[in-house]
Amino acid sequence: MTGKKGLFGTDFSRMRALVILSVDIILVVTLVLLLQIDKLVNGTLYGYGLTFSTSWAEPYWAMLRSSLVLIVIAIIIISVVELPYPSFRNQKNKVEDRE
């Protein structure tokens, strides 16, 4: 695919980078919102009569930690694997041109 050259190569790769960065931003915002929910549960709700019980706390902690880990893994995978993809492709093309 040919297109105008720019900061990230072609227009296609610039659009791809913008989509990847947008997804990363969405995941970071989701991470912050989950932490705010945790702050709400562990702070504010006790003022409204929430009583601690391991019957709800352990599943809550497990789901919260699992969610946080999955979001961080998604951010890492998207950033490390997908974002540099156009530069990997350009390097592959340069190697093929040498041969």
Look at the block and give the residue holding tokens 């929430």.
Answer: 50
The answer to whether the beta carbons of residues 75 and 27 sit under 8 Å apart is yes
Q: What is the pLDDT of residues 4-21, one digit of tens each?
A: 555 545 666 778 888 888
Using 50, 70 and 90 to split pLDDT, how confident is the model at 78? confident
Contacts of 27 (CB under 8 A, 6+ apart): 71, 74, 75, 78
* Domain boundary assignment for the chain: 12-92
**In whole angstroms, what is the distance from residue 64 CA to residue 69 CA?**
9
Of the ranges 36-40, 71-75, 93-97, which one carries the lowest mean pLDDT score?
93-97
**In whole angstroms, what is the distance from residue 87 CA to residue 60 CA?**
41
